[in-house]
């Protein structure tokens, strides 16, 4: 009998919409390896679906809040954290405070796409274009990201109407395929699972950002934790109890 403790990973949905959490969980749970447990958390506050700079900034706080709440429980240590948003709010902060690897749907997708060569992104919501370009630049993938194709419906609208999403995204993927790239990332938590359904209609590899996040984390392709102990480097004032109870590293 195998008595090895399971490896535990935390999926944080920075959107407040529990349906998005359920979609991510359904897609990732299907490929869960033996001996691995996936815990999920949904943001306590913020936007139902992140769609602008302000909601992205609040989502970073919500990610830290969800991580702190899990860390304050008498639960086994985590082996990794996945930010369930194609925009990775709070990525650098979570990586700094957590003693385990942390990645997001965007960073993980960039890692997989870059292995093919220059890549494009297809996603919902026009305001995401400059935000994703900035993130790619900060992660060192700015030169390989050659094109961002946004569709007018937001990720929330695409998630709510699968038939419309398939028509809209299928055309967007065909447009992106004409830009001289080697692969296309279908980015968005609400779009988890769509890449497989659209692949037959696109000549280039389609990368599902949710599956990329999970695969890259499990395969340890992201930076290792910088310390062996969870904790913050600053003390807090007026924050929720989970923040106040965690250790401050000096």
Pair of tokens at residue 176: 């992106």
pTM higher than 0.75: yes
- Domains of the chain: residue spans and CATH: 7-104+216-245 (3.40.50.12500), 106-210 (3.40.50.12500)
Residue 249: the pLDDT is: 79
Residue 1: the pLDDT is: 56
Residue 179: the pLDDT is: 96
Residue 2: the pLDDT is: 63
* Longest distance between any two alpha carbons in the chain, whole Å: 54
String of DSSP letters for the chain: ---PPPEEEEEEE-SS-HHHHHHHHHHHHTTPPTTEEEEEEE-SSS-SS--SHHHHHHHHHHHHHHHHHHHTSS-PPPSEEEE-STT-TTHHHHHHH-SS-EEEHHHHHHHHHHTTSSEEEEEE-TTHHHHHHHHHHHHT-TTTEEEEEEESS-HHHHHH-HHHHHHHHHHHHHHHGGGS-SEEEEE-GGGTTHHHHHGGG-SSPEEEHHHHHHHHHHTT-SPPPSSSS--BSS--SS--HHHHHS-B--
Per-residue pLDDT reduced to its tens digit, 89-108: 999 999 999 999 999 999 99
Q: What is the pLDDT along the chain (250 residues), one digit of tens a residue?
A: 567 889 999 999 999 999 999 999 999 998 889 999 999 999 999 999 999 999 999 999 999 999 999 999 988 999 999 999 999 999 999 999 999 999 999 999 999 999 999 999 999 888 999 999 999 999 999 999 999 999 988 777 887 888 888 899 999 999 999 999 999 999 999 899 999 999 988 999 999 999 999 999 999 999 888 888 898 988 899 998 889 888 887 6
């Amino acid at each position: 009998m195998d008595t090895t403790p399971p490896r535990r990973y935390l999926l944080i949905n920075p959107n407040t919409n529990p349906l998005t959490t359920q979609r991510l969980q359904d897609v990732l749970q299907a490929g869960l390896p033996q001996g691995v447990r996936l815990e999920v958390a949904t943001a306590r506050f913020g936007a139902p679906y992140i769609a602008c700079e302000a909601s992205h900034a609040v989502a970073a706080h919500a990610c830290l809040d969800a991580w702190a709440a899990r860390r304050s429980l008498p639960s086994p240590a985590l082996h990794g954290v996945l930010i369930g948003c194609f925009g990775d709010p709070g990525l650098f902060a979570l990586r700094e405070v957590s003693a385990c690897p942390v990645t997001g749907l965007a960073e993980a997708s960039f890692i997989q796409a870059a292995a093919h060569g220059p890549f494009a992104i297809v996603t919902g919501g026009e305001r995401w274009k400059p935000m994703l370009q900035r993130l790619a630049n900060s992660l060192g993938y700015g030169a390989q990201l050659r094109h961002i194709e946004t569709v007018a419906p937001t990720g929330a609208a695409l998630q709510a109407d699968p038939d419309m999403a398939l028509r809209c995204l299928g055309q967007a993927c065909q447009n992106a395929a004409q830009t001289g790239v080697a692969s296309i990332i279908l980015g968005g938590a609400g779009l988890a699972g769509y890449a497989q359904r659209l692949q037959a209609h696109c000549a280039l590899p389609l990368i599902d950002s949710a599956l990329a996040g999970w695969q890259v984390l499990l395969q340890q392709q992201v930076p290792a934790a910088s310390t062996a102990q969870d904790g913050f480097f600053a003390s807090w004032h007026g924050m929720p109890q989970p923040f106040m109870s965690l250790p401050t590293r000096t």
